[in-house]
Amino acid sequence: MNVSASLTPFNNPTPQSAPMVLDTLPDPAIEGQGCPRRTRLQIDLILLAIEALELGGSEAILTFAEELDLKAIIKNRVNLWRMRSTNPLRQANIRRPLSITEAKALVVIACYMARRLTVVIRQLLAIYQQMSEKQIPLEQNLRLSNYLERFRVHFKSRMHSRRSGVLALGSDEKLDELAINLLEKLLFCTGTAGMQRFWISLFDGEAE
């Protein structure tokens, strides 16, 4: 699928200034320069949901990084993997901080991608609500079932099975609940000031 952010490019960032698109997100009032554990976890999971929604999601993230003038932050696939591996539930968890600037870049990309997928997200949530109300098994709808299956596969292949947070999601039913919850968060990102509100929510309870 051809991916385009359809945006007018911003000026190239300089070492003294971050890309303009990041200025829309406020700096959180937290100690240190790195993101808290919960923030790192939630950012990676929201990107995991996007990858389950759209084939080639990882390549799309890199494409948006370039078109949103964030290439200086998210340079390549390895750089992106290192950022996402700050998620403490990952099999290959990297003990490095995720900087506020890196987190902002990932959130901006996730929100722009969510906007492009708004129709799909709304349709899947509507299907889920209808099937839940009628108590119809979710696997009976092909579109919803495909999304849930891809999310479970991505999650199980990338997260460490012995971590307590992963053990708590040990059943397919729990993972399906998480996948639906992430769809709701993605839809939240597409609303009025959704990107800013989602960003602030990532630090709830973490601010000084």
Q: How far is the C-alpha of 77 from the C-alpha of 109, rounded, in Å?
A: 14
Q: How far is the C-alpha of 107 from the C-alpha of 198, rounded, in Å?
A: 8
Provide long-range contacts, Cβ within 8 A and 24+ apart, for 48-52: 48/151, 48/154, 48/155, 48/158, 48/182, 49/151, 49/179, 49/182, 49/183, 49/185, 49/186, 50/110, 50/113, 50/114, 50/117, 50/186, 51/150, 51/154, 52/147, 52/148, 52/150, 52/151, 52/154, 52/179
Q: How far is the C-alpha of 68 from the C-alpha of 105, rounded, in Å?
A: 9
pLDDT of amino acid 8: 36
What are the C-alpha distances in Å from 82 to residues 52, 74, 79?
Answer: 20, 10, 5
Q: What string of pLDDT tens digits covers the 208 residues of the chain?
A: 444 444 433 334 334 456 788 888 999 888 767 899 999 999 999 999 999 998 887 889 999 999 999 999 999 999 999 999 999 999 888 888 999 999 999 999 999 999 999 999 999 999 999 999 999 999 999 999 999 999 999 999 999 888 778 888 888 999 999 999 999 999 999 988 999 999 999 998 765 4
Q: How far is the C-alpha of 132 from the C-alpha of 70, rounded, in Å?
A: 40
Q: How far is the C-alpha of 103 from the C-alpha of 63, rounded, in Å?
A: 17
pLDDT of amino acid 173: 92
pLDDT of amino acid 21: 81
Q: pTM of the predicted model, to two decimals?
A: 0.86
pLDDT of amino acid 10: 35
pLDDT of amino acid 3: 43
Q: How far is the C-alpha of 79 from the C-alpha of 51, rounded, in Å?
A: 17
